[in-house]
Amino acid sequence: MRRMGLGVVAFILMAAALPAEARSISKNDQQVCKWGAGVAQTAQQSKLSGTTLYSARKKLQGRQYPKPWMRKMAVGITEQTYRSRSRLKPSAVRQTYYEGCIQHDLARK
Profile the chain (109 residues) by mean pLDDT over runs of 10 residues.
42 44 80 98 97 97 95 97 96 97 92
Nearest to 41 by CA among 78, 66, 73, 83: 78
Domain residue limits at 99? 26-108
Give the pLDDT score at 108. 87
pLDDT of residue 38: 98
Residue 10 located in a structural domain: no
Q: How many domains does one find in the chain? A: 1
Length reported for the chain: 109
pLDDT digits (tens, 9 = 90+) for 5-22: 434 434 444 444 444 444
In a domain? residue 11? no
pTM above 0.85, yes or no: no
CA–CA distance, 40 with 18 (Å, rounded to integer):
29
Residue 4 belongs to some domain of the structure: no
Indicate whether 51 belongs to any domain. Answer: yes
